[in-house]
Chain A
């Protein structure tokens, strides 16, 4: 259950309305080691905490990309988010978007990689407003958030 809550919290962080806090205590060595283990070449690391859930968020540069990785206080790796382009989406998602949301344009795309799976959060816009879709690699789309401002 806790993992589902954390997963939702992390997903929501992508849309910035969810609060992150400057880490009021430095992450333990266990957490820092966990980051090094997952991303040995991470640069420019900044730590924050997510909504006081006991989750540390590391923002860093990896392979010239800006990434966010999430860890529990015990150093358990929860997942990674990164902003990508529409061209980086699996082709089934691109095809589904063009069939089902032809009158929208894609504003932002976030990839959310967990140790056990992968999802994409896509903000689309038309003249009526914006919404966030959740997509899986096989092209399944569902509405994650309506009426985004």
Chain B
């Protein structure tokens, strides 16, 4: 389930094609309790639902965050859009050294209960590359495609 979720969420975020129903869906008590336990300071919470999971959008410490849950209240992951200056410094320097002529089109932090990672989509005139970092120190290629 977790692996399927990772692939599904990353696809939906990276391709911006998540098929969510209405905003402000009602959630069951299990999900709501799990959320409140994890994010005690969350503000402006709204919920959306797909067939596979619930998504909470909220403010935490002034930042907009999305958290994903199963219907049983298991937290699957958190997506948090960030600026490149919020990346750990090793990831910033590595980008500057290895992808100097690329520009950033998407950058987010993807956290699961036991791990934290970063995904960045960069492009130049010829290609689009998505890189991932699961250790906060170095990037690896997640996907690469040529521009049409």
Residue positions of A touching B, CB distance < 8 A: 38-41, 62-63, 65, 67, 80, 82, 86-88, 90-92, 94-95, 98-99, 102, 111, 113-118, 137-139
State whether B41 touches A118 (Cβ < 8 A): no
- Hey, which chain A residues are within 8 Å of B70, CB to CB? none
Give B49-80 as 1s and 0s: 1 = Cβ < 8 Å from A's Cβ atoms.
00000000000111101000000000000101
State whether B89 touches A87 (Cβ < 8 A): no
State whether B137 touches A92 (Cβ < 8 A): no
23 A-B pairs with CB atoms under 8 Å apart are A80-B90, A87-B61, A87-B63, A88-B85, A88-B86, A91-B60, A91-B63, A91-B80, A91-B109, A91-B111, A95-B38, A95-B60, A98-B40, A99-B40, A114-B137, A118-B90, A118-B135, A118-B136, A137-B115, A137-B116, A138-B113, A138-B116, A139-B111
Chain A interface, DSSP helix/strand/loop, else mixed: mixed
In the assembled complex, the Cα of A65 lies from the Cα of B87 at a distance in Å of: 13
- Hey, which chain B residues are within 8 Å of A114, CB to CB? 137
- Hey, which chain B residues are within 8 Å of A118, CB to CB? 88, 90, 135-137
Nearest Cβ on chain B to A55's Cβ, whole angstroms: 18
State whether B137 touches A115 (Cβ < 8 A): yes
State whether A139 touches B116 (Cβ < 8 A): yes
In the assembled complex, the Cα of A30 lies from the Cα of B115 at a distance in Å of: 36
- Hey, which chain B residues are within 8 Å of A41, CB to CB? 96
State whether A40 touches B97 (Cβ < 8 A): yes
- Hey, which chain A residues are within 8 Å of B109, CB to CB? 90-91
- Hey, which chain A residues are within 8 Å of B111, CB to CB? 90-92, 137-139
- Hey, which chain B residues are within 8 Å of A90, CB to CB? 109, 111, 116
In the assembled complex, the Cα of A116 lies from the Cα of B86 at a distance in Å of: 19
State whether B40 touches A113 (Cβ < 8 A): no
Nearest Cβ on chain A to B62's Cβ, whole angstroms: 7
